[in-house]
C-alpha cells in the first residue's frame, strides 16, 4: 500500500518557499461570522479579526458536516519586529510557520519557555497555556506568517461559543474597577491607570527593550532544554525542510507530518500536509480513509476535482465537484471522498493543510501497485467499468507508479525551481517511485 508517511527522503526544500512570499490575505472583508460550509472558502471570505500596521489576524470556520462543530483556522501575520501579545489558549493548537522567523514564548503549569520559530516549523501548544510571539527584525524584512489550527477532538474541543483564546489584557481590564481593587488591593490610581487605558491591539511594535527582556525566558528555556529544570518544559518542534519530502519527482513534491514525526500531534489529533505541483502537474486521484483535509492554497492557481463515487440515482448523495482555487482560498475534502489536485493555467500550485484523524491516515491512491484496483478480481472490475477484461488488463499493466504526474511537458526544472531546493542529493534513492 502506498502511504505518504512511509516514504522519507533527504532533501530540505525551504528555499522553494521563498517564492511564496507574495501571498497575502490582506484586504479581507469581515464576513457574517457563520461557519462556512465549504468546499471552498475564498480569500476574501476569511473573517478579519485584526488589522494593524504591525500585523493582522484572519480566521476561518469550516464545518465538516452540519452536525459537527466547525474547524477553526487562524492566519497570523506579523511585520518584522512585531509582537503578538499574550493570550490564554482555550483549545489545543498546532502552529505552522509559513514564512519569516521569530520567537514563541509560553507559560503553563509546568513553567515557561521560549523557542525560535523559522519557516517550516510545526509545533503545538496545549489548552490553558499562555503564549506570545515576537517576529525577528530581519535584513530581508520578511513577514512572520503562521497558520494556527485549533483542535476539534473529543477531549480538546475548539468551541465557537468559547473562542480560541482570550487576551490577557482583556481578562484584566474586563473586570471593573471595584472588582480589581478588591482582588488586587492596590491604590486607586494604579487601577485607574490600567482600566482607563485604551485597548492595546493584539499585535504591536516590539520595542528594543522588549527584545532583551525576551532573553530571560529564553535563558530559562535553554536551561530546561539542557536538562536543568522540568522536562515537561520543553516544546517539541519539527521543521518540514529539515527532512526529505515523502514523495518527490520532477513534477512536484509532497510532505505529511503526523504524530510519528511530531509526537505532540497525538494529543491534538491533527496532521499537517504540504504539496507543491509544478506547472501542468497533477496529484493523482486519492482519498483519506481516516481524515478530513482542510487545505489552504498558498501559491499559484489550482483545480481540485472531488469524486464521491455515490450511487448516481440517489439524489441526496454527495455530488462530484470541480473547483478552482487561488492563493489564499481554503478548501475542504471529507474523508473517503476522492480528490485530484492540478496546477492550473501555466502556474505552479502549492497548498498546505491540516488533516483531522483519530487514527493513522494512509492516503489511498487509485493508480499504482498499491491501488485497490489491483486487488479486485479482473473480470469483476471489467463488469463494473462496463469494459472488456482485456481493457482492464491494459489499464492495470500500466508501468506508472507515482503519485504526482506531469500532464504536459513542464517538469519542475523548466520552471527554474529545481535549483531552489537546498540539496542536490539524489532523490528518493531506495524507494524511488518515478523520477
Q: Can residue 302 be called a binding residue for a second copy (CB under 8 A)?
A: no
Tell me the three state secondary structure of residue 378: helix
Enumerate residues 6+ apart whose C-beta is below 8 A from 66.
Answer: 37
Residue 260 Cβ, how far from a second copy at the closest point, in Å? 17
Residue 384 found at the interface with a second copy (CB under 8 A): yes
For residue 229, what is the DSSP state?
S
Q: Which of 257, 333, 277, 331 is nearest to 96 (CA)?
A: 257
- The rounded distance, in Å, linking the Cα atoms of 376 and 232 is 49
**H or E element, residue 76:** strand 71-78
DSSP H stretches of helix in 133-246: 168-174, 177-184, 188-196, 208-225
Least distance CB 45 / a second copy (angstroms)? 13
Shortest CB 206 distance to a second copy, Å: 8
- Does 162 help bind a second copy (rule: CB under 8 A)? yes
Choosing from 284, 300, 302, 328, the residue that interacts with a second copy (CB under 8 A) is 284
Q: Which of 8, 14, 24, 48 binds a second copy (CB under 8 A)?
A: 48
Q: Considering only residues 234-263, where is the footprint of a second copy by CB under 8 A?
A: none
Which listed range, 96-104, 226-234, 265-273, 366-374, lies at the site for a second copy (CB under 8 A)?
Answer: 366-374
Position 115 contacts a second copy (CB under 8 A): no
Which residues touch 280 (CB under 8 Å, ≥6 apart)? Answer: 343, 346, 406, 407, 408, 409, 410
Give whichever of 17 and 206 is closer to a second copy, judged by the CB atom: 206
Residue 326 C-beta: closest distance to a second copy, Å: 20
Cα–Cα distance, 177 to 175 (Å, whole number):
7
Closest distance between a second copy and the C-beta of residue 198, in Å?
A: 7
Closest CA to 124 of 248, 242, 266: 266
- The answer to whether residues 121 and 237 touch, using CB atoms and an 8 Å cutoff, is yes
Among 184, 219, 228, 435, binds a second copy (CB under 8 A): 184
Q: Is 70 helix (H, G, I), strand (E, B) or coil?
A: coil
Pairing label, strands 349-356, 270-277 = antiparallel
SS3 content of the chain, % helix, strand, coil (to 5): 20, 35, 45
- Mapping DSSP to helix (H, G, I), strand (E, B) and coil, where does residue 385 land? helix
188 is a contact residue toward a second copy (CB under 8 A):
no
By CB under 8 A, tell whether 363 contacts a second copy: no
The binder of a second copy chosen from 22, 29, 178, 416 (CB under 8 A) = 178
Q: How far is CA 380 from CA 286, 307, 375, 385, in A?
A: 21, 21, 11, 9
- Decide: is 222 part of the binding site for a second copy (CB under 8 A): no
Give Cβ neighbours of residue 42 (< 8 Å, ≥ 6 apart). 326, 328, 329
Q: Is residue 90 a contact point for a second copy (CB under 8 A)?
A: yes
Residues numbered 404 to 433 that lie near a second copy (CB under 8 A) are 405-407
**Which H helix or E strand runs over 267?**
helix 265-268
Quick one: which of 18, 53, 140, 210 contacts a second copy (CB under 8 A)? Answer: 210
Is 118 or 173 the residue whose CB approaches a second copy more closely?
173
Q: Are 407 and 341 in contact (CB under 8 A)?
A: no
Q: How many CB atoms lie within 10 A of CB 74?
A: 20
Task: Return the range that interacts with a second copy (CB under 8 A); candidates 93-101, 135-143, 314-322, 423-431.
Answer: 314-322
- Please state the closest distance from residue 403 (CB atom) to a second copy, in A: 9
Binding segment (CB under 8 A) for a second copy, from list 115-123, 331-339, 346-354, 420-428: 331-339
Which one of residues 26, 140, 141, 197 is an interface residue with a second copy (CB under 8 A)?
A: 197
Applying CB under 8 A, what is the total number of residues that bind a second copy?
Answer: 127
Quick one: which of 22, 29, 139, 185 contacts a second copy (CB under 8 A)? 185
231-239, 261-269, 281-289, 409-417 -> range binding a second copy (CB under 8 A): 281-289
Q: State yes or no: residue 72 binds a second copy (CB under 8 A).
A: no
For a second copy, which residue of 29, 226, 227, 313 counts as binding (CB under 8 A)?
313
Q: Is 171 in the site for a second copy (CB under 8 A)?
A: yes
- How far is residue 356's CA from residue 64's CA, in Å, rounded to a whole number? 10
Which string of x and - marks every residue 15-34 that binds a second copy (by CB under 8 A)?
A: ---------------x--x-
Among residues 119 and 301, whose Cβ is nearest to a second copy? Answer: 301
| DSSP for residue 81 | T
From 21, 115, 137, 194, residue interacting with a second copy (rule: CB under 8 A): 194
Amino acid at each position: 500500500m502506498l502511504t505518504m508517511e512511509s516514504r522519507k527522503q533527504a532533501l530540505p526544500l525551504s528555499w522553494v518557499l521563498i517564492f511564496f512570499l507574495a501571498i497575502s490575505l490582506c484586504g479581507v472583508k469581515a464576513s457574517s461570522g457563520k461557519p462556512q460550509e465549504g468546499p471552498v472558502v475564498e480569500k476574501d471570505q476569511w473573517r478579519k479579526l485584526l488589522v494593524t500596521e504591525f500585523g493582522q489576524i484572519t480566521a476561518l470556520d469550516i464545518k465538516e458536516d452540519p452536525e459537527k462543530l466547525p474547524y477553526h483556522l487562524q492566519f497570523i501575520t506579523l511585520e518584522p519586529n512585531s509582537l503578538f501579545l499574550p493570550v490564554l489558549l482555550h483549545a489545543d493548537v498546532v502552529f505552522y510557520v509559513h514564512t519569516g522567523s521569530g520567537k514563541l514564548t509560553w507559560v503553563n503549569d509546568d513553567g515557561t519557555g521560549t523557542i525560535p520559530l523559522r519557516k517550516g516549523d510545526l509545533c503545538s501548544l496545549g489548552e490553558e497555556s499562555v503564549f506570545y510571539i515576537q517576529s525577528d527584525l530581519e535584513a530581508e524584512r520578511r513577514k512572520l506568517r503562521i497558520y494556527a489550527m485549533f483542535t476539534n477532538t473529543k477531549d480538546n474541543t475548539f468551541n465557537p461559543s468559547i473562542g480560541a483564546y482570550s487576551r490577557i489584557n482583556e481578562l484584566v481590564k474586563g473586570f471593573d474597577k471595584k472588582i480589581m481593587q478588591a482582588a488586587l488591593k492596590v491604590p486607586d490610581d494604579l487601577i485607574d491607570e490600567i482600566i482607563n487605558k485604551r485597548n492595546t491591539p493584539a499585535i504591536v511594535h516590539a520595542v528594543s527593550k522588549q527584545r532583551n527582556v525576551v532573553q530571560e525566558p529564553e535563558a530559562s528555556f535553554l536551561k530546561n532544554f539542557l536538562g536543568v529544570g522540568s522536562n515537561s518544559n520543553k516544546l517539541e518542534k519539527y521543521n518540514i525542510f529539515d527532512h526529505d519530502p515523502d514523495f518527490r519527482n520532477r513534477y512536484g513534491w509532497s510532505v505529511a507530518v503526523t504524530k510519528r514525526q511530531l509526537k505532540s500531534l497525538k494529543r491534538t489529533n491533527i496532521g499537517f500536509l504540504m504539496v507543491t505541483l509544478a506547472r501542468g502537474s497533477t496529484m493523482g486521484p486519492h482519498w483519506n480513509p481516516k481524515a478530513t483535509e482542510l487545505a489552504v492554497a498558498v501559491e499559484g492557481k489550482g483545480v481540485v476535482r472531488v469524486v464521491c463515487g455515490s450511487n448516481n440515482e440517489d439524489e441526496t448523495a454527495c455530488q462530484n465537484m470541480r473547483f478552482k482555487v487561488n492563493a489564499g482560498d481554503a478548501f475542504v475534502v471529507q474523508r473517503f471522498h476522492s480528490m485530484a489536485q492540478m496546477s492550473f493555467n501555466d502556474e505552479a500550485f502549492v497548498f498546505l493543510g491540516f488533516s483531522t484523524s483519530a487514527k493513522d491516515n494512509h492516503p489511498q491512491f487509485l493508480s499504482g501497485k498499491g491501488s485497490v484496483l489491483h486487488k479486485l478480481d479482473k473480470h469483476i472490475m471489467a463488469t463494473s467499468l462496463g469494459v472488456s477484461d482485456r481493457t482492464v488488463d491494459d489499464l492495470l499493466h500500466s508501468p506508472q507508479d507515482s503519485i504526482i504526474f506531469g500532464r504536459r511537458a513542464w517538469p519542475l526544472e523548466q520552471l527554474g525551481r529545481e535549483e531552489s531546493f537546498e540539496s542536490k542529493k539524489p532523490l528518493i534513492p531506495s524507494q524511488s517511485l518515478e523520477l
